[in-house]
Structure 1
Amino acid sequence: MFPAAARRIRSGRRTPGGAALIGAGLCLGLGLGLSLGLVGCSAPVPEATASADPTPQPGIMPLRGTPVDPSRAEHPSLAVKIDNHPAARPQLGLERADLVFEELVEGGLTRYVALWHSDVPDAVGPVRSIRPMDPEILSSFGGIVAYSGGQPQFVAAMRASPLLNVVFDDDAGGLFVRADDRDSPHDVVLAADETVTLHSDLAPPTGQFDYADSAAEATASLAGDPTTTIVTRFSESGGRAWAWDPAATGYLRSQDGAADLDSTGAQLNATNVVVLRVEVDRGSDVPRTILTGSGTAWVSTGGSTMPATWFKDAAAAPIRLADAVGATIELAPGNTWIELVPTDDGSVELVP
């Protein structure tokens, strides 16, 4: 058992009182069957800086913030490129991921980069090809990345990252299979637990975010404004929404106006929803999210949302979240989805 006396070392200061809730993007009628009341506008980026590295939190799962016997955390994280085409849903094992990044790809669609460490399933998928922003998203975690291939220049960049690459095109050990009940190319499945076991000599991940001791003590719970629904658009092709559910003590996910279900038939949910407004390089037919620098963000926990600034100094640096005075924001222990919403063609709407 983990030591009951193990506590986190705090970093930064919480902002007292309620924080002003500012939306972002254009006012769009999303047609999601939601009662949308507050329409977002662009928010200024505070002139603040965050600490360079997450605060050490011994006895805590680094990607989830939950207590753990340290011996159970001594294995690498597994990042997998996961399909989000309608034909790929429901995905396998996505509900057990610690972190999920949603990013824009071609045709206005999105794909996921999901990371598992605290709870690695037997199988995850459907696995798809790598994209140019993935090395920038994943380099700070180390460990393993699995994908089905990709354009040569994108694969080369991923192989040059600090992660061990496990690629469907090169698989000689049978770690990937094609599922009989799914159509190609939405049918590639990875033996996730076996992959991690085979490479258990790799180091565990370092923390990405800071975590409070409980959801009630998370920064957004203390300093945010009530928010029932978070609606994001990555393009004109479709929208997704997160609705706060007090009974589930989490946010329930919808896509294109329908509940987004996991492989068990339950609605996908998140303890924390973090929205980052990001620049997108559209100089080729494959859009590339830019995830170094800083920008506007919103952090939602426990039914409340607060504005923030995100910082990422380099590909190998973690994302830092700071409040209006530069103090590090602490998330609630649990899983987190990070929505990388384009500044040019995306929008964010926050509903009180």
Structure 2
Amino acid sequence: MSEPRSSRPTDRSTGVRRRGASRRLLALVAIATASAVLGGCSAPAPDPVDDARPSPSPSPEYVSTYVEPPAIELAPLTGEPVEPGSLARSTLAAKIDNHPRARPQVGLDRADIVFEELVEGGLTRYVGVWHSDVPAEIGPIRSIRPMDPDIISPLGGIVAYSGGQQRFVDLMRATRVYNAIHGQADTDAVMYRGSNAPAPHNVIVRAPELLAQHADIAPPAQQFAFAADAASATAAKDGQPITSMAMTFGSLGSPSWAWDAASGTWLRSMTGGAPDTAASGARLSAVNIVVMRVPVQVIQDIPTTQMIGGGEAWVSSGGKIVPATWSKPDQNTPPRLVDAQGAAVRLAPGATWVELVPTDGSFSFQ
């Protein structure tokens, strides 16, 4: 006897579809529930920024301690720092006597630059140049020589001398330099014969008064390249250490220099070796010694240094010496000094003596 058929559906595919629908319904309900929960837990919007809040300030208040460094200028003839505007005056060059009767000279120890040159009789004579330090008086002054226009013209300014052969005076007057000559009407108040020595070795110049008469003349251009300090000078850095120098201009002109480490200067001695001093009692000295070997022609019995051209040079600073070459292309250009590589030779800041030693003279150092 057969069993009765069940009244429940037996179609498997139908059961599957029903179960899948139920699952989808449950998933939709779960998603809806989660969305409602998340929506109820969202963060509140931030409060608006209060723009009226005070800005923080430092406490204590900041005060700068920076101090503006003082302005400086460099003296054109010495390379030393000076107060701006303090040297707004011309140079004063003067033909200074070096005859034995003219010594000791007045104010020569305070010159920025001194040129020494050969003159008649185997003697030497100076062109002293004052700018950064002007003494009350300088001298004794003597007559002009044919090489002086080439030496002095690069400076501009004023040249003081006692006269000379008319042909040499004319050469000097033809330059851009103002000629102040003893005996002219405009020099009566600033030149006089002193009691320091017999004539003609006693013409003295009142230097500040002469400069004041020509306050419209411009200051000089820089004449040499200078280092920032003594240790940076070319000779001090690259030179050979020496203790002394000797040179011969002529039969009565053989000065010498010795290095003095205590003062950082070269000390001068006269022909014969005696210390060379000024009327003030100060030893003549220099920070730099520039030796230029120059040709000298004797023209109508007057030794004439040839300054336009070039040749061998030696530069001494800081107790050392370095070889160099000098060149001067024209009258108004100062001599240029270069080393073996063609670089400018830089002097130490301070006073300089330029020794114009004839090529048929001599120069040596130890």
- TM bucket (normalised to shorter chain) is 0.7 to 0.9
Q: Do the aligned partners of 2:109 and 2:282 also contact (CA within 8 Å) in 1?
A: no
- Paired residue for 1:50? none
- Paired residue for 1:253? 268
Is 2:309 the counterpart of 1:293? yes
Distance 1:315 1:299 in 2: 22
Q: Do the aligned partners of 2:190 and 2:209 also contact (CA within 8 Å) in 1?
A: yes
Q: Do the aligned partners of 2:87 and 2:132 also contact (CA within 8 Å) in 1?
A: yes
Q: Secondary structure at the match of 1:331?
A: coil
- Paired residue for 1:42? none
- Paired residue for 2:127? 113
Q: Secondary structure at the match of 2:73?
A: coil
Q: Secondary structure at the match of 2:86?
A: helix
Distance 1:201 1:272 in 2: 31
Distance 1:4 1:99 in 2: 30
- Paired residue for 2:170? 156
- Paired residue for 2:215? 200
Distance 1:266 1:4 in 2: 35
Q: CA deviation at 1:169?
A: 2.5
- Paired residue for 2:325? 309
Q: Secondary structure at the match of 2:223?
A: coil
Q: Secondary structure at the match of 1:211?
A: coil
Q: CA deviation at 1:152?
A: 0.2
- Paired residue for 1:68? 82
Structure 1 vs Structure 2: percent identity of aligned residues?
A: 52
Q: Secondary structure at the match of 1:210?
A: coil
Distance 2:223 2:70 in 1: 23
Q: Secondary structure at the match of 1:114?
A: strand
Q: Do the aligned partners of 2:159 and 2:177 also contact (CA within 8 Å) in 1?
A: yes
Q: CA deviation at 1:174?
A: 1.7
- Paired residue for 1:168? 182
Unpaired runs of 5+ residues, structure 2, are 1-67
Give runs of aligned pairs for residues 125-274 of structure 1, distance below 5 A: 125-172=139-186, 173-256=188-271, 257-274=273-290
Q: CA deviation at 1:235?
A: 1.3
Distance 2:210 2:329 in 1: 30
Q: How many residues align?
A: 297
Q: Secondary structure at the match of 1:340?
A: strand
Question: TM-score scaled to structure 1, two decimals?
Answer: 0.83
Distance 1:62 1:274 in 2: 17
Distance 2:252 2:97 in 1: 16
Larger-Rg structure = 2
- Paired residue for 2:136? 122
Distance 1:125 1:339 in 2: 19
Distance 1:83 1:171 in 2: 23
Give runs of aligned pairs for residues 3-14 of structure 1, distance below 5 A: 4=69
Distance 2:292 2:185 in 1: 34
Higher relative contact order (CA 8 A, sep 6+): 1
Question: TM-score scaled to structure 2, two decimals?
Answer: 0.79
Which AA in structure 2 matches 1:277? R
1:309-330: CA deviation from partner (whole Å, max 9, x where unpaired) = 0011101011110000100011
- Judge which range, 152-161 or 254-263, deviates more: 254-263
Query: Which structure has the highest helix share of the two?
Result: 2
The ranges of structure 1 where at least 4 consecutive aligned residues each deviate by more than 6 angstroms after the TM superposition are none
1:148-179: CA deviation from partner (whole Å, max 9, x where unpaired) = 00000000000000100000021443211111
Distance 1:329 1:277 in 2: 16
Give runs of aligned pairs for residues 71-86 of structure 1, distance below 5 A: 71-86=85-100
Q: CA deviation at 1:69?
A: 1.6
